[in-house]
C-alpha cells in the first residue's frame, strides 16, 4: 500500500532548511530508498515516494513557515540537479501506476505555482547541474530558473527522442504557455535529447540566467535576498504545525476524525462521508491559530485529501465513490462565514486555498462521483462543492422528512476549478442568471433545488433505495476506460487554461501513448531503454 503521509523527520530524499524568509529545498535522493523493487534512483531520479515528500514540503512551507518569501530548490549531487522520473521504474510499472504517478507530480507542480501566485512564496530553481526530463519540468514549475555554467550542465526534455513518450509533468505546456517559448524552438528543444547548455538556453528563454560555478551559490543567494527585500512590508506571521493524521484502518474502511471511507469491493464502489463540525465554530484568527491543524476545515480537508489519494493509488477497482455528508449544515455555513470574514488573515486565506486544491484533486480523480443527499446531510457552502463536483447528485424528496442544501458566499469564487470557473458558474454556463439567483436564495429544499437545477434526480421515499441501488449497479457495470474519458470531457466546461491543458490534453495523450507498442511494447522505446537492443517503431501515424 502506498502511504501519502510523511513529514520532514521521515524524509529520505529531501532536506528542508529555513533561514528567516528564505527556505531551501535540497534534493538528495537515496537511490536505494525506492517505493518498489527493481530499480535504483540514481542521479537524483525520482519515483512517487520522492514526490510525496516534495508535495509534503510545499504544503508545510505554506502553513508552518508563512514568513518564507523565497524557496530555493537545488541539489546536493555534484553536477546533477535531477535526471527526472526514473526510467526503469516507469518501464516496469503498471499502466495505472504510471498515469497516477504523472497526475500526482502534475498536482505537486501546480501546487508550487499556486504557492508563488497566492502565498507570496516565490520558487527559484537553482540548477547546479544538468536538469533533464522531469528535472527540468520541476524547474519549469518555479518562477525563476538559473543554470550553472560549468561547460557541461544542460536542460533537456528527452522523452520524445529517447523514450517514445511525452514529458509527463507539464513540460510542453509550460514551455509555450508559461515561458512563451516560440513553437519552432520548442519543437527543436523537445526533440533534442542532449538539450541545450547555458548560453543557448538563456537566448531561447528556457532559463532566466546562468552563472559560473565559482559564483553560482553567491548569485542565487543574492537573488533570493533581492526578492525578500522587495517584500519588506509583509506582515509578521507565526505558522502552525501540521501533525500526522490519525487513521483507523480495517480491511474495508478508513476512519478519520471527520472523514469516513467505506469500501464495497465486491460491488466496486465506496462510500466517502465528510462530517460537519459538532458545534458552530467562532472566534478570531488568533483563536484559530491556537487551534492549529485541529480547526475543522483544515483537518477535514486534509483527511479528505488523504482518502482521495488512497482511493487513487490503492483501490484501482473502486470505480464509483458515493459522496455523503453528515451533521448540521448551519455549522458548515458558520465556518464559511469565518473564512470569508477574515480572508485578509494569512491563515484563513491559506486554509481556503488548501480547500480549493483538495476539491480540484477530487475533480481530477479518475473515479465516478455520485452525491447522495438525504436526511442528516449537510451539503452546504464548502461541502456543497462536493455535490457540485459530483457527476450526478441524488436528493431525497420526502415532505415528511425534509432535506436541505445551502450556498454560502464562498461558492461564488473561493474554490475555482482547474478551468478557473466556480463550480456553480460551470453548472449554469448556459444560464448565467441562475448563478446570482442561487447565491441570493441561499437555502433550497428538494423541490426548489430540483427546479433551479442544483441536483440531478429527486427520487421520493418509496423509490429512494431502489433508485440509488440501480444507479450504483448501472454505473459500475460500464467500461471504466470509457467512463474516465467521458467524465474528463464533461467536468471542465468552458475555455482551456494552463491547468486543463496539463490535466486534460497532456494526460489523455500520455495515457494513450503509455499503452502503445512504440512506447511499451516488446520493441518499444521505453521498454528497451538502457538495453543493448534498439526500439523498433511502427511508423504509421495515428
Q: What is the pLDDT of residues 55-109, one digit of tens each?
A: 999 999 999 999 999 999 999 999 999 999 999 999 999 999 999 999 999 999 9
Contacts of 155 (CB under 8 A, 6+ apart): 127, 130, 131, 132, 136, 139, 145, 147, 195, 196, 201, 206, 207
Q: DSSP label at 295? A: S
Residue 540 burial by Cβ neighbours in a 10 Å radius (0-12, 13-18, 19+): exposed
Q: CA 379 to CA 383: how far, in whole Å?
A: 5
User: So what's the pLDDT on residue 234?
Assistant: 64
Q: Give dist(CA 363, CA 359) in Å, integer.
A: 6
Q: What is the CATH number of domain 12-230?
A: 3.90.226.10
- pLDDT on residue 281: 83
Backbone angles phi, psi at 344, to 5 degrees: -85, -5
Per-residue confidence band for 511, with pLDDT thresholds at 50, 70 and 90:
confident
* 28 has pLDDT over 90: yes
Is residue 494's pLDDT more than 70? yes
pLDDT of 283 reads 76
pLDDT tier at 309 (50, 70, 90 boundaries)? very high
In this predicted structure, what is the pLDDT of residue 89?
Answer: 95
- The helix, strand and coil proportions of the chain, stated in percent and rounded to the nearest 5, come to 45, 20, 35
Domain ranges, ordered by start, for the chain: 12-230, 248-486
pLDDT at 205: 98
Domains 12-230 and 248-486 share a fold: yes
Cell of 183: 513553437
User: Is residue 409 over pLDDT 70?
Assistant: yes
Q: Grid coordinates in use for 290?
A: 491556537
As a whole number of angstroms, the distance between CA 405 and CA 449 comes to 8
Output the pLDDT for position 232.
67
pLDDT tens, 271-295?
Answer: 999 999 999 887 778 788 889 999 9
Evaluate if residue 427 carries a pLDDT over 90.
yes
Reported as a single tens digit per residue, the pLDDT across 96-124 is: 999 999 999 999 999 999 999 999 999 99
Amino acid 444: pLDDT: 98
182-221 pLDDT, tens digit per residue, is 999 999 999 999 999 999 999 999 999 999 999 999 999 9
Does 236 have pLDDT greater than 80?
Answer: no
DSSP annotation of 380 reads B
**CATH number for domain 248-486, candidates 3.60.21.10, 3.40.47.10, 3.40.50.2000, 3.90.226.10:** 3.90.226.10
Of residues 192, 499, 131, 336, the one with CA closest to residue 491 = 499
- Would you state the pLDDT for residue 510? 87
The grid coordinates of residue 51 equal 514526490
Question: Is residue 39 over pLDDT 80?
Answer: yes
b/e 37-67 (16+ beta carbons within 10 angstroms → b): eebebebbbbbbbbbbbbbbbbbbbbbbbbb
Torsion of CA 489, 492, 493, 497, to 10 degrees: -110
User: Mean pLDDT over residues 317-331, rounded?
Assistant: 98
The whole-number average pLDDT for the span 240-264 is 97
CA 26 to each of CA 111, 209, 289, 338: distance values in angstroms, whole numbers, following the listed order: 18, 20, 29, 37
Amino acid at each position: 500500500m502506498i502511504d501519502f503521509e510523511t513529514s520532514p523527520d521521515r524524509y529520505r530524499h529531501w532536506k528542508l532548511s529555513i533561514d528567516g524568509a528564505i527556505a531551501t529545498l535540497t534534493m538528495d535522493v537515496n537511490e536505494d530508498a525506492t517505493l518498489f523493487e527493481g530499480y535504483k534512483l540514481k542521479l537524483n531520479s525520482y519515483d512517487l515516494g520522492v514526490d510525496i515528500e516534495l508535495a509534503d514540503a510545499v504544503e508545510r512551507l505554506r502553513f508552518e513557515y508563512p514568513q518564507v518569501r523565497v524557496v530555493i530548490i537545488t541539489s546536493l549531487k555534484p553536477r546533477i540537479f535531477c535526471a527526472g522520473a526514473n526510467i526503469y521504474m516507469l518501464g516496469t510499472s503498471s499502466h495505472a501506476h504510471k498515469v497516477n504517478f504523472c497526475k500526482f507530480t502534475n498536482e505537486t507542480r501546480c501546487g508550487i505555482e499556486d504557492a508563488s501566485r497566492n502565498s507570496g512564496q516565490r520558487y527559484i530553481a537553482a540548477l547546479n547541474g544538468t536538469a533533464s526530463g522531469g528535472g527540468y519540468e520541476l524547474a519549469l514549475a518555479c518562477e525563476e530558473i538559473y543554470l550553472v555554467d560549468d561547460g557541461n550542465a544542460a536542460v533537456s526534455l528527452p522523452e520524445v527522442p529517447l523514450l517514445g513518450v511525452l514529458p509527463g509533468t507539464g513540460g510542453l505546456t509550460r514551455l509555450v504557455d508559461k515561458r512563451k517559448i516560440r513553437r519552432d524552438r520548442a519543437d527543436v528543444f523537445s526533440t533534442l535529447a542532449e538539450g541545450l547548455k547555458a548560453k543557448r538556453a538563456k537566448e531561447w528563454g528556457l532559463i532566466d540566467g546562468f552563472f559560473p560555478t565559482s559564483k553560482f551559490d553567491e548569485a542565487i543567494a543574492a537573488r533570493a535576498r533581492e526578492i525578500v527585500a522587495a517584500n519588506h512590508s509583509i506582515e509578521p506571521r507565526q505558522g502552525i504545525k501540521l501533525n500526522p493524521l490519525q487513521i483507523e484502518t480495517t480491511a474495508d474502511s478508513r476512519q478519520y476524525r471527520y472523514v469516513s471511507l467505506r469500501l464495497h469491493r465486491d460491488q466496486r464502489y465506496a462510500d466517502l462521508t465528510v462530517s460537519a463540525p459538532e458545534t458552530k465554530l467562532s472566534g478570531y484568527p488568533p483563536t484559530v491559530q491556537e487551534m492549529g491543524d485541529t480547526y475543522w476545515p483544515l483537518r477535514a480537508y486534509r483527511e479528505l485529501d488523504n482518502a482521495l489519494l488512497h482511493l487513487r493509488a490503492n483501490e484501482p477497482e473502486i470505480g464509483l465513490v458515493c459522496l455523503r455528508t453528515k451533521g448540521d449544515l448551519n455549522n458548515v455555513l458558520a465556518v464559511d462565514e469565518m473564512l470569508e470574514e477574515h480572508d485578509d488573515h494569512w491563515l484563513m486565506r491559506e486554509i481556503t486555498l488548501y480547500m480549493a486544491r483538495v476539491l480540484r484533486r477530487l475533480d481530477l480523480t479518475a473515479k465516478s462521483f455520485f452525491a447522495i443527499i438525504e436526511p442528516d446531510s449537510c451539503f452546504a457552502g464548502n461541502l456543497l462543492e462536493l455535490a457540485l463536483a459530483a457527476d450526478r447528485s441524488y436528493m431525497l424528496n420526502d415532505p415528511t422528512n425534509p432535506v436541505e442544501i445551502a450556498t454560502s458566499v464562498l461558492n461564488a469564487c473561493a474554490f475555482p476549478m482547474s478551468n478557473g470557473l466556480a463550480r456553480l458558474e460551470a453548472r449554469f454556463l448556459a444560464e448565467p442568471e441562475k448563478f446570482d439567483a442561487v447565491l441570493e436564495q441561499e437555502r433550497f429544499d428538494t423541490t426548489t433545488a430540483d427546479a433551479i437545477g442544483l441536483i440531478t434526480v429527486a427520487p421520493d421515499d418509496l423509490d429512494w433505495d431502489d433508485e440509488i441501488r440501480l444507479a450504483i449497479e448501472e454505473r459500475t457495470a460500464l467500461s471504466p476506460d470509457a467512463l474516465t474519458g467521458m467524465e474528463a470531457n464533461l467536468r471542465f466546461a468552458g475555455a482551456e487554461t494552463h491547468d486543463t491543458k496539463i490535466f486534460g490534453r497532456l494526460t489523455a495523450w500520455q495515457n494513450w501513448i503509455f499503452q502503445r507498442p512504440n512506447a511499451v511494447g516488446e520493441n518499444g522505446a521505453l521498454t528497451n531503454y538502457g538495453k543493448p537492443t534498439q526500439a523498433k517503431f511502427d511508423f504509421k501515424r495515428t
